[in-house]
Amino acid sequence: MTTLTNRPIPILASIDDLGSARDAWLTDIWGVMHNGVAPFQSASDACIRFREAGGTVLLLSNAPRPHTSVAEQLDRIGVPRAAWDAILTSGDAARALIGAYAGRPVFPLGPERDAPVYDGLPITLSDAATAEIISCTGLFDDETETPDDYASLLADFAARDVPMICANPDLTVERGNKIVYCAGAIAAAYEKLGGRVSYAGKPHGPIYDLAFEALTKLRAKPVARERVLAIGDGIRTDITGAARAGIDSIFIPSGIHVTSELTSAALDELFPDPAIRPLAAMPALA
């Protein structure tokens, strides 16, 4: 990994200088490839160009659903399949954690759209009163609810010492021009009550191990970490996770962190720790 100091973080208009020489990109989806409503065409174009030059694009997402469900969502939004080689999600990683509780009652805390994460698992979905495990994929209604709406439910779970699996460590995400809460915000509230939480997805190590296994299959040989570039908009997920995994990164700000012009001063405030400073930032992947 490139040695990081408190040097200014360059702001680039094109990824070519830093990204074109790599073997693979680990590219976040929501906030980089689309905003939940519309695709970012410049990002798709950059990924297509990189793939045409021999690079591999692995979309690495904290979506709490299996990769097949996310691929269908990308099709609906309009992200072309030519822009990526494969998808790996925290939902994929969460299935292994949830499946370890075979035969036990699991409370599915999250919206109905995340139900595919449970398909085929040897578990029993239950109500809150009888649950022995909580699987949190998000809020039931992230358009109107906040973690405060779950205070009583989480307190009851904490009193019974029910463990939680968080299938999406993101705290918030930008949907169109609105910020909505994710499963990570529920998990953080649960931990404050003393609840036990296991996380699937970025910034935690297991999903990066799975990513390099996937890259080995896609390129038919192992890929060195210094030959990989992570691209994402989440500081505590994409950028911190990449740093912990020994991977260089590029920061693409979304409304989660930056609500005005992207400047060097703003980047210095966002990244005071040299250990997780990205190689560069871009207003958008292009």
pLDDT digits (tens, 9 = 90+) for 108-137: 999 999 999 999 999 999 999 999 999 999
DSSP-assigned states of every residue in 86-130: EEEEHHHHHHHHHHTTTTSEEEEES-GGGGGGGTT-S-EE--TTT
CATH of domain 92-199: 3.40.50.1000
pLDDT digits (tens, 9 = 90+) for 199-248: 999 999 989 999 999 999 999 999 999 999 999 999 999 999 999 999 99
What fold does the segment set 16-91+203-281 form as a domain? Rossmann fold (3.40.50)
Of 127, 199, 114, residue with least CA distance to 156: 127
Locate the DSSP E strands across the chain. 24-27, 56-61, 86-89, 105-109, 124-125, 133-136, 164-166, 172-175, 178-181, 197-199, 228-232, 248-251, 280-281
Neighbouring C-beta atoms of residue 92, cutoff 10 Å:
24
* Structure tokens, 2: 């490139």
Q: What per-residue confidence (pLDDT) applies to 176?
A: 77
Q: What is the pTM of this model?
A: 0.84
**Which pLDDT belongs to residue 260?**
60
Averaged pLDDT score across all residues of the chain = 93
Break the chain into its structural domains and give their ranges: 16-91+203-281, 92-199
Given this chain, do its domains 16-91+203-281 and 92-199 carry the same CATH topology?
yes
pLDDT tens readout for residues 65-94: 899 999 999 999 999 999 999 999 999 999
Query: Residue 155 corresponds to which amino acid?
Result: A
The confidence score (pLDDT) of residue 3 equals: 45
- Mean pLDDT value of segment 256-281: 85
Task: Return the structure tokens found at 17.
Answer: 């200088």
